[in-house]
Amino acid sequence: MSKPSITPLTDNGAAIDGCPSSSSSFIRTSMPIKEWAMLFLLSILWGGSFFFIGIAVTELPPLTIVALRLSLAAATLWLILLIRGDKIPTSLPLWRTFFVMGLLNNVIPFSLIVWGQTHIASGLASIINATTPLFTVLIAGTFLSDEKMTPQKIAGVIIGLFGVIVLIGPSSLSDFETNTVAQLAIVGAAISCGLASVYGRRFKTLGISPLTTTMGQVTAATLILLPVVIGMDQPNNFAAVSPRVWMAIFMLAIVSTALAYILYFRILSSSGATNVVLVTFLVPVTATLLGWLVLQEQLQVKHFIGMLFISLGLAAIDGRAWQKLRGATK
């Protein structure tokens, strides 16, 4: 299968091949408080997915987990769409876009992350996954006229990535010289997510809601993956799966996929590719805070230092604090 390409954009926001893009619409380079709150909520929903995957892999093979996650999420989204009475998309070009987005944003990264987590520690996987904003800044800066790559953005990503390493613990990197293929799989997932965030910008001008976009993407991803799973994993012993694992699968599908992607496309449509992938910096933060609040885990000095660097990185990418600081020094 050939790798889907990202259509380059001209300076006025029109796609070179005539495909619609969202560059002609207003994209906030700095997010308002409401969208920062949605991004923080998204980090909680996606942060939980690592926990649910950790439970599911004890009894199910990786591709089966991904297929169940996507199919149950798609069924949930179709049900919501029908109850709401929303228009079901029938355009073939639109469904082609859904299939490309489903491949880039679901099939490839979900499969690589789940497989990678069966070979390397979750802490190291989280650190590698946190490179997603770096790849997105590079890709968006190349293909999107209104999300240009700047030294400030690059610096912000590097600072944030350093904060993630401090937060999770440098000891997680001790496994860095082993299981190279699994680590490269997580890198591949990060690149695929970066491509998806840039490609997904075109949904803003197609006149469809985040719910419909999520439904189309997840449905397309399910249709791509199901034949592969049936051929490779041949799942036929679901009766032996424990209720604990089924609960993890349902939470993974409905909360960490269906609901999470509705939020994802809402943020992407208004704040752009670079901003929405900042969630990968926030996931370790929310996981640490939830561990403290729910599991009574102790916060250590490294956690506060890591959160500080992540905050500085996010502030640099957002840009408003930097602009105020420059204005104050003039």
CA atoms within 13 A on the CB side of 27: 28
Q: Residue 86: what are its φ and ψ, rounded to 5°? A: -70, 155
Residues facing 279 on adjacent strands: none
Residue 76's pLDDT is: 93
User: What is the DSSP code (8-state) at residue 20?
Assistant: -
- Other Cβ atoms within 10 Å of 3 Cβ, number: 9
User: Sign of the C-alpha dihedral, residues 318, 320, 321, 326?
Assistant: positive
CA atoms within 13 A on the CB side of 200: 34
Q: Are 142 and 83 in contact (CB under 8 A)?
A: no
Residue 273's pLDDT is: 67
Q: Give the predicted TM-score (pTM) of the model.
A: 0.71
Residue 25's pLDDT is: 44
Residue 216's pLDDT is: 93
CA distance 144 to 161: 23
Mean pLDDT by 10 residues, the chain (330 residues): 34 27 44 81 82 82 88 93 88 92 89 82 72 81 73 80 76 67 86 87 77 91 89 76 92 91 82 73 74 69 80 72 58
One-letter-per-residue 3-state SS of 205-247: HCCCCHHHHHHHHHHHHHHHHHHHHHHHCCCCCHHHCCHHHHH
C-alpha distances out from residue 42 to 48, 79, 116, 278, Å: 10, 22, 22, 10
Residue 104's pLDDT is: 92
Residue extents of the structural domains in the chain: 33-329
User: What is the DSSP code (8-state) at residue 277?
Assistant: T
- Other Cβ atoms within 10 Å of 90 Cβ, number: 7
Residues facing 33 on adjacent strands: none
CA atoms within 13 A on the CB side of 64: 18
